[in-house]
Amino acid sequence: MTPAACRFVGPATFESLSGSPVLTDIFASSQDRESPHIALAQWCQLMIIAPATADLIAKLAGGRTDDVVCLTACALPPSTPVLLAPAMNEQMWQNPITQRNTRTVIETLDYHTVGPDEGWQACRTTGEGRMSEPDQIFESATQLLETQL
């Protein structure tokens, strides 16, 4: 989880719901010789980043690895698909820099996106930028995995 994600929902909640440990710290120690983010990247068959904020997309496009999500994404083998579910305010989504960064991760890193959709946003407005519904993200993830087989 990124520090921003931890401000919305605590890691303990994700651990409880998933039954698995949640990685939040790029400097977390491990009993294995391998760094946790490297082990996670090698184990991963598909990385889904939902929500993918404008900040996170910018970090991925620029190669910044100052949080565990971007660090793990950077360590993925090239054959591991990444699915982003953009979620932000309509003006942020339409910002030319955000659009450029999104094109960069699609064209340079071969990442995939689902959405964003149009609808009610956290900023109490309606417009394009709302994260796709979980079933739509799941369907896109399933299609990506099927194409990998």
Residues with a known catalytic role: 123
DSSP letter assigned to residue 125: -
Question: How many other CB atoms sit within 10 Å of the CB of residue 54?
Answer: 19
Give me the half-sphere count of Cα atoms (radius 13 Å) on the Cβ side of residue 68: 21
- Determine contact, residues 58/101, Cβ cutoff 8 Å: yes
Nearest to 85, CA basis, from 111, 58, 119, 67: 111
Burial class (CB in 10 A: 0-12, 13-18, 19+), 10: middle
